[in-house]
Amino acid sequence: MAIWQDLVSDHGFAASYASVALCAQLAGEKTPEARAIILTAPGEEGQVDYGDGPMVRDAGSGKYRRARLFVLTLGFSRKSVRLLVFRSSTKVWAGLHEWAEYHDAVLSYPPNW
């Protein structure tokens, strides 16, 4: 009621109190979505996502090929490594895990599987 009274007296607001109440209700805080927060110690765990990636132009042939996307996200820091590969096999998948765990993704490049 005080907001509506201030609008009327200070600014000559001509609309009804109900319009101000509706505006305040629509602008009010909404209930936030529930989110799970998982706390882990540094180096304790990570999450791996592996699947279809983008279409990438092959440097040799010049044609577009579907790449596979490997993403390893660390549980504590939320830092992640994202790698693209063209071939997919158990050996490649395991090799991506090993490379991501033991190499610095910013300064070096993954091997060509």
Residue 21's φ and ψ, nearest 5 degrees, are -65, -40
CA 70-72-75 angle, 5° bins: 160
Is it the case that residue 112 has pLDDT exceeding 70? no
**pLDDT per residue as tens digits for the range 6-63:** 888 888 888 888 888 888 888 776 777 777 777 888 878 888 899 999 999 988 889 9
Nearest-angstrom CA–CA distance, 25 and 49: 41
* Spatial distance between the Cα atoms of 59 and 61, rounded to a whole number of angstroms: 6
Going 73 to 79 to 84 to 85, the CA torsion angle's sign is negative
- pTM equals 0.56
